[in-house]
A and B are shown apart, each in its own frame.
Chain A
Amino acid sequence: MGHNGAMPDDAPVDVPIDVSADTAGDAPDQCPARPLVQLLGGTVRFGADTVLDGVDFRLFPGEVHSLMGENGAGKSTLIKALTGALQLSGGTILLDGEPVHFRSTHDAQQAGIRAVYQEIDLLPNLSVAENIMLGAEPRRCGLVDWARMRRRAGEVLDDLGLDIDPATTLSHHSIAVQQLVAIARALSTDARVLVLDEPTSSLDAAECAELFRVIAGLKERGVAIIFISHFLDQIYEVCDRVTVLRDGSLVGEYLTREFLRVDLVQAMLGHNAEALRSRSRLQVVEDDVVRRPFLSVRGLSSRRRITDADVDLIEGDVLGVAGLLGSGRTELARAMTGVDRPDAGIIRIHGATGGPGGPREAISLGVVYSSENRRTEGIIGELSVGDNITLALQAQQGILRRIGGTRQRELAQSWVEALDIRPPDLDRPAGNLSGGNQQKVLLARLLALAPRVLVLDEPTRGIDVGAKVEIQNLVGDLADNGLSVMFISAELEEVLRVGNRVAILHDGRIVDTVPAEELTPDSLLALVAQGSSMGSAPVEEAR
């Protein structure tokens, strides 16, 4: 794993590095040991929310540095601060040791910091050459010089070792190639820092290899790369160092070759093994009666994010789904419940083969899905709490059979009381409620349908502890009443607490499905981190 930048630290570290220390003396070769970009005490506040709190970050020339963290960790805020899209509320950015102030992305770009985001910010209707050069296109007498533009674009592409015809229209190419063109654009202006945000999420293995080849070439040129991805295997393949954020704070900066995956995941999730063991398990499966699966899935593949998944949802049983962000959890849930059409696989509901053709059909079969994006895909903000609760039931009954005024209020009121939705005001627009109460309204809507299968995608994300426990207990009660529940969560202790069985996802595949009592917090962590089969102690080769 050759790299150009100096690695001043030879020992594995798991505390924030003291960046004020003189590190030049540790450099093994004559390459500059000073970081190219540095963030000191970076803090970003939105009103009362502190989304980034005193974070230090270093980037050396010629290294590939990964930025890791779960939802809400502050990754994108950090990137936005470095690329000038956001202003810091506190702290400084140093470029080549000198403090700089980026008032806009334009300033950052002038300084050589460019970003390529997941949603490719290119123009599919224009040619590759234009996408690379537009904004700085060669002109003659004020008119666009097409010949020179194509030539220059070709040069940039050649520098990266890419065989792409600059005159072709961008939309003609695959996403993988478009991504490479985006990188080419970023580099066409002598970028020194390149931020790659989830560059591989739409690429297959061959395309990834091509991208990594390009990255290796950039490293040799001394370009510093910030690589953001949820694919642990790729991080370990291509990155030199990793910085972990959690809840807006810096957890630490580590060398990948010395940092075990298990430790990485633990740093990201921050689970406390002690706290975990002290919590009692909710579900106790008492009898040995073999229960039939109500919903059963074989070989499910969807949107390149989940491949070949087998899942059984059994009556009276809670299946916890554990996996990192991006491991395919949501895609699995959506494909199972008819929200997305799967690419492959067989879905059996109550014995009958054939996946639901859409959410409406799924609901009529008794299968309901609660989206992780409760604001954009769940709650209808401007409608009242009462209308939100009875919405799905009303949709099932049809337009003509309206749930009359009194009956609707009674129904909604009963759910408000059952789930302790606060404030208990049926006419309040649902968008005004707190996150936890919105989730409860969403749950009420689904439960009002008297479903047989309940698929919950991150139902407790962003909710306070009290409401979290309420929802967890509710799930337990529902299973006791015969429902099948699939409970997806990024918090491992929650999964262990709530689930009878646990399905572990890693990079788009289900590694294993095991009864919860056979798991320890460490073993679950290992499975999530490595994706290998369970052993008593996680074995990982140091690279």
Chain B
Amino acid sequence: MSRLIKHHLFWPGFALVALVVLNTVVRPRFIEISVQHGALYGAPIDILRNSAPMMLVALGMTLVIATRGIDLSVGAVMAVSGAVALTIIDGSDSPGSVGTVLVAIAVGVGVSLILGVWNGFLVSVLKIQPIIATLVLMMAGRGVALLVTGGFITTVTSDPLKYVASGHLLGLPFALFIWVAAVVVVSLVERRTALGVLTEAVGINPEASRLAGVRATGIILGTYVLSGGLAGMAGIIYSSNIMAADANAAGELIELYAILAVVLGGTSLAGGKFSIAGTVIGVLIIQTLQSTILFLGVSSAQSPVFFAAVVVVVVLIQAPAVHRAARQFLQRRSTHVPDITRGTEVAR
């Protein structure tokens, strides 16, 4: 039993299950899944579908954080990707053709990959602090997206595009397949190649890794490229959802949600060991929370207040000061007097 509790996925999993149970108790219709026109519908299905953009972004964010970095530009990259793709569709002669949509998506994601290279270059080659480096794109990216759309919200009518976010495959939302595929592919690449271990080594101890001959530059660059590409795909899904490119609203605040999901899943912000499964659970927790909040009648625009509280609680739990206070409290409970030794450095 204690081995189960010690597993790094236990607490995130427990939180998710508890959340689902709570929801079911309060509104029994929560877990109701119905079949209509050969497709499944219901609150759980909605959650699985709606979490697609955040899932992709958080996936990329997990690896960036594992290298002790951060990518604040993901929202802006989403906006750029959506803007580029929809502008292509809008400007083409056959917006409803699958070929056009595929080209548009490819270009959108391609641009996002280039933006990822940009970020990666600033961080891994110029050695600029990740917060600062990605701040630039966070700012300029929206401007680029606005330029591409000409300042308007470009709307299109295109069935293939609509299918991305709203379509079904084998009864399940297509968007679900997208993120599951992404998670599976990234996990396989990380664990089947040496990339996972080397990434963790770089994040845990960059200097020791350097002495062991690990080439950090390429690894770090790669994480930002991946983060960019995944954000690009997330932007496509977002645009498909509203059938429009909204350069201002796309990916708004998604950076913090992604970071929160990564932290909830057990990956430390200090870098090192990461858990993709943990991030998946983290995103599902956030999405379930969103659904709960909406059900409680809170407008989605107001929900950030709740999440601010969640962020505070999560960081407090991880804060060393809290650990120290808890340890002191527990020690005082037991009868023996704690050994007060000042200073923890070993003498030279």
Contact = CB atoms under 8 A, between A and B. Distances in A.
Q: Do chains A and B touch in the complex (CB under 8 A)?
A: yes
Nearest to A50: B347
A51 B346 contact: yes
Interface in A356-399: 358-360, 362-364, 369, 371, 376-383, 387, 391-392, 394-399
B201 interface: yes
B300 interface: no
B341 A394 contact: no
Interface stretch (B13-21, B84-92, B212-220, B244-252): B212-220
B170 interface: no
A228 B228 CA distance: 53
Interface in B186-236: 192-195, 197-198, 200-201, 204-205, 207-215, 218-219
Interface residues of A, number: 51
Nearest to A75: B348
B335 to A, nearest CB: 19
B211 A381 contact: no
Interface in B317-348: 339, 341-344, 346-348
A45 B341 contact: yes
Contacts of A116: none
Given A75-B348, A248-B347, A383 B200 contact: yes
Kindly name the residue among B195, B219, B347 whose own CB sees the greatest number of chain A CB atoms within 10 A.
B347
A363 B198 CA distance: 17
Nearest to B207: A377
Nearest to A361: B213
A196 B48 CA distance: 64
B211 A371 contact: yes
A378 B193 contact: no
B206 to A, nearest CB: 10
Contacts of B215: 360, 395
B194 A86 contact: no
B273 interface: yes
Contacts of B339: 47
A378 B205 CA distance: 9
A399 B193 contact: yes
Contacts of A387: 197, 201
A52 interface: yes
Interface string B239-283: 000000000000000000000000000000000110000000000
Nearest to A70: B348
A157 B214 CA distance: 49
Interface string A45-73: 11101011000000000000000000111
Contacts of B272: 382
A362 B347 CA distance: 33
A69 B348 CA distance: 9
B194 A376 contact: no
B276 to A, nearest CB: 17
Contact of A380 (B192, B205, B343): B205
A80 interface: yes
Contact of A359 (B211, B344, B346, B347): B211
Interface in B12-46: none
A433 to B, nearest CB: 15
A165 to B, nearest CB: 33
A101 B268 CA distance: 41
B185 to A, nearest CB: 15
Interface in B58-81: none
Contact of B194 (A45, A339, A363, A402): A402
Contacts of A395: 198, 209, 212-215
B194 A76 contact: no
Given A46-B341, A47-B341, A71-B348, A363 B205 contact: no
A445 interface: yes
B86 to A, nearest CB: 35
Contact of B212 (A74, A382, A392, A401): A392
A381 B204 contact: yes
Nearest to B195: A399
B15 to A, nearest CB: 24
Nearest to A248: B347
A400 B190 CA distance: 10
A380 B204 contact: yes
A175 B215 CA distance: 33
B194 to A, nearest CB: 4
Interface in A87-111: 87, 89
A344 interface: no
A85 interface: yes
Contact of B192 (A44, A77, A402): A402
Contacts of B210: 358-360
A403 interface: yes
A77 B207 contact: no
Contacts of A400: 193-194
Interface string A398-440: 1111110000000000000000000000000000000000000
B204 A391 contact: no
Contact of A72 (B201, B204, B344, B347): B347
Contacts of B214: 360, 391-392, 395
A538 B184 CA distance: 71
B208 A399 contact: no
A87 B342 contact: yes
B198 A399 contact: yes
A46 B218 CA distance: 43
Nearest to A337: B211
Contact of B348 (A72, A360, A397): A72
Given A359-B210, A395-B214, A382 B273 contact: yes
Nearest to A73: B348
A395 B201 CA distance: 11
Nearest to A384: B197
Contacts of B198: 394-395, 399
A368 to B, nearest CB: 9
Nearest to B222: A399
B211 A339 contact: yes
Contact of B209 (A87, A380, A381, A403): A380
A49 B345 CA distance: 12
21 contacts: A47-B339, A52-B347, A72-B348, A75-B348, A76-B348, A358-B210, A359-B210, A359-B211, A360-B214, A377-B205, A377-B208, A380-B201, A380-B208, A382-B272, A391-B209, A394-B194, A395-B213, A398-B194, A399-B194, A400-B193, A402-B193
6 closest Cβ pairs, A-B complex: A77-B347, A51-B347, A360-B213, A392-B212, A395-B214, A363-B213
Given A378-B211, A391-B214, 15 more contacts: A46-B341, A80-B343, A86-B343, A89-B341, A248-B347, A360-B215, A363-B213, A377-B205, A380-B205, A387-B197, A391-B209, A394-B194, A399-B193, A401-B194, A445-B212
